[in-house]
Each structure stands twice: as structure tokens, then as C-alpha cells.
Amino acid sequence: MIQYTGYLAIHKFEAELERELEIRGLTVALKKDRLYLVEGQHPPLIWAQMTAFEMEFESVTSINDAARKLKARGRNWGLFTVGSHRRAELIQSELPKLNTKPILFRHPLPTTPMGFWTLWEPDQILMTTKTSSPFALGEMDFQEDKVMPPSRAYLKLWEFFTVYAPEAIHGGTSIDVGSCPGGWTWVLRTLEFDKIISVDKAPIEKRIMDMGRIDFRKESAFGLDPNDFAEIDWFCSDIICYPERLLNLVKRFRDSGKVKNFVCTIKYQSETDWEQTLKFLEIPNSRIVHLHHNKHEVTWFLKGDQQ
Ligand SMILES: C[S@@+](CC[C@H](N)C(=O)[O-])C[C@H]1O[C@@H](n2cnc3c(N)ncnc32)[C@H](O)[C@@H]1O
């Protein structure tokens, strides 16, 4: 039986996924709506909100038959409809209810596998129990803090430190460049760092400064000299700038040997800058992901234990 790797493109970023498939030399065998199928086993891609491994087709004779076949394989099923929407929803309603409660920052991730299925034709399902995310269709939502963070940018760092860097933090220093109005600095302040260096040409909000342990520097991040710093545990950047400028800044700090971990948003203008994006990936052991809370931007990171 033919197995496929399914890539669910992010809404409005289908062109990015198509370009990435091309760059990776992956040929699309079948496609419906935002779902792209490639024969064989392949790794997750940046611009897929979820990657579904070992997908298989199976014939079904009725709504009950489809629900029975899905339930026989697993408990949790995220549905993406590509047609026959009503019929697909009826099948989904026969499956166990999903826990869709928004999660807390740093809450352990669900451990039950999250399946993915679609009704490809009225009498044919496409399914797998193996996906890249424990959340249905890769969509994770937080119980938001509507009081403290001065911008919604904090959700990116919440997602990053919940999904990709859940390890405990014991003191140390973090630096947040491009920090105004203070969402990321606030997140770092709620973690266990001894000191947060916050850098922007514009000030961060007073209520964040008033939390203490924050050393705010009103200057351009591009003028910073790594030699002026002691050890930095986390270098965080959400600066709005050309990817090439960010790459040069990151390289300067990485070459200094002072930084253990990096997490940086690579922001794009109207076009996705693939040339610079691929240069970021040349930094050994680093990764790029498109967080659920990223827009036309991606998150590059490098963890010390992998350097
Ligand atoms: C998207 S905002 C950051 C939001 C922030 N992470 C938060 O959570 O509130 C981007 C910031 O980059 C800053 N920025 C742009 N160029 C900069 C530079 N050369 N040095 C420092 N900050 C810069 C802007 O002033 C702006 O505040």
C-alpha cells in the first residue's frame, strides 16, 4: 500500500510551502485544498502547520463505517476537510471529543498521539495516527494573559518556551533585542533568569520595567559588542529588520562564544527571503520553525545542548 507524507500548508502561505517543497526536491503526488501529499517518508517542513506521516487511503461504505475504522486506529483525530464537508463533520461527530481547552504557558504537552484525517472522496478516507504535533492540525492555543503583556508578540515566546525549550531555567542572563513595548522582556522576566538585558531604540513599558531585574538599554542592537557582555544564556531577538542584518548580528554573537542558546524571529518584507533563510540553516544544529503564533515570519533557534 502506498504511504504518503501529508503537508498541511498554513492558510495564505501555500506559495511558501510549494517553494519549500521545490527547494527540498519533493514532488507533490496529490493535492486538495491546502493539503499536499508526497509519496514516501519525509521530514516536517517549515511552512507546514502540521506534517502527517505514513498517511494511507482506506475505502469506507458509510459514516458509521468510517468512524469505526478511525476509532479502531486511535482516539484523537483532527479533521481537515477538502470536500464533502457535511459528511466529514458527521463522521467526526461520531469520534471521541477532543480536548480543545487552551493550555497554560510551560504546561507539559499532551502525550496522547494526535491523528489526522480527511474525507478525500465521499467513500474514501485518508488518515494517519502519526503527526508532527500533539494538537489537532498543529493549532495550539494558550490561556492568554490579558493584563500584563503590552503586545501579543509574547505568544511567540510562550509557544517557543513551551514546545521547543521546556527545560527548567536556573538563573543566568538573557538578552532581548528589539524589545519594545516589552512582551518578550516580560516573558523572560517571568522565567527564572537573574537578569534580563532589554535593548531597543524605543523604551519598554514602565510596568514591565518596574518588575525589576531588567537592564534596559536604549540603543541600536546592531551596535552591540559581544565583548561587552559576560555569559548570555539566551539571546532573543524579535527585531524588525532585514534577515541578512539579523544573520550578521547572530553570527557575531555566536562567534564570540558567549551565548548558549538563541531564539530569533526572521521577519520578511513582501517576499520570503529564502536565500538568507537557508543561510540561517547552515548554522550547525540550528532549526527553523513556523510557530502557530508566527505571521509572515519564522523562528530560528539554536540550543546549547545541541551546539
Ligand atoms: C515587533 S517589535 C518587538 C516586539 C517585542 N518583542 C514585544 O514582545 O513587545 C520590533 C522592535 O524592533 C525594534 N527595532 C528595530 N530596529 C532596531 C534596532 N536597530 N535596534 C533595536 N531595536 C530595533 C523596534 O523599535 C521594535 O520595537
Instruction: Indicate whether 159 and 291 sit together in one domain.
Output: yes
Amino acid 1: pLDDT:
87
Does pLDDT of 217 surpass 90?
Answer: yes
Instruction: Indicate whether 35 and 112 sit together in one domain.
Output: yes
Query: Which amino acid is residue 253, in one-letter code?
Result: F
Omega before residue 102 within 30° of 0, cis: no
Degrees (nearest 5) of the Cα angle 294, 300, 301? 120
Q: At what angle do helices 274-281 and 243-255 cross, to 10 degrees?
A: 20
Instruction: Indicate whether 22 and 99 sit together in one domain.
Output: yes
* Domain hosting residue 164, numbered range: 154-306
pTM of the model: 0.97
Instruction: Say whether 242 sits in a helix, a strand or coil.
Output: coil
For 77-94, what is each residue's pLDDT tens digit?
Answer: 999 999 999 999 999 999
Instruction: Indicate whether 119 and 202 sit together in one domain.
Output: no
In sequence order, the 6+-apart residues with CB closer than 8 A to the CB of 121 are 83, 84
Instruction: Indicate whether 131 and 159 sit together in one domain.
Output: no
For 33-80, what is each residue's pLDDT tens digit?
Answer: 999 999 999 999 999 999 999 999 999 999 999 999 999 999 999 999
CA of residue 178 to ligand 1 center, whole Å: 3
How confident is the model over 259-280, as a mean pLDDT? 97
- Average pLDDT of the chain is 97
CA of residue 34 to ligand 1 center, whole Å: 33
Gap between the terminal Cα atoms of the chain? 40
**Does some domain include residue 51?**
yes
C-alpha span between 151 and 90 (Å, rounded)? 39
**Does some domain include residue 186?**
yes
Instruction: Indicate whether 299 and 186 sit together in one domain.
Output: yes
Instruction: Indicate whether 299 and 171 sit together in one domain.
Output: yes
The 10 Å Cβ neighbour count of residue 223 is: 7
The 10 Å Cβ neighbour count of residue 162 is: 18
How confident is the model over 200-224, as a mean pLDDT? 98
- Residue 201 CB–ligand 1 contact under 6 Å: yes
Instruction: Indicate whether 163 and 299 sit together in one domain.
Output: yes
Q: Decide which of 82, 108, 138 is a domain's last residue.
A: 138
Tell me the CATH number at 27.
Answer: 3.30.2130
**Does some domain include residue 260?**
yes
Does pLDDT of 119 surpass 60?
Answer: yes
CA of residue 238 to ligand 1 center, whole Å: 6
Q: Decide which of 138, 170, 198 is a domain's last residue.
A: 138
Instruction: Indicate whether 129 and 184 sit together in one domain.
Output: no
The residue behind cell 500500500 is 1
Amino acid 306: pLDDT:
55
Q: Decide which of 138, 165, 184 is a domain's last residue.
A: 138
C-alpha span between 205 and 216 (Å, rounded)? 11
Structurally, the chain folds into a number of domains equal to 2
For 230-254, what is each residue's pLDDT tens digit?
Answer: 999 999 999 999 999 999 999 999 9
Instruction: Indicate whether 131 and 223 sit together in one domain.
Output: no
Using CA positions, which residue lies closest to atom 7 of ligand 1?
A: 183
**Does some domain include residue 10?**
yes
- Residue 76 CB–ligand 1 contact under 6 Å: no
Amino acid 64: pLDDT:
98
Instruction: Say whether 191 sits in a helix, a strand or coil.
Output: coil
C-alpha span between 140 and 78 (Å, rounded)? 12
- Residue 158 CB–ligand 1 contact under 6 Å: no
Overall residue count recorded for the chain in this entry? 307
Does pLDDT of 122 surpass 70?
Answer: yes
Give the pLDDT band of residue 197 (cuts 50, 70, 90).
Answer: very high
Amino acid 39: pLDDT:
98
C-alpha span between 198 and 238 (Å, rounded)? 11
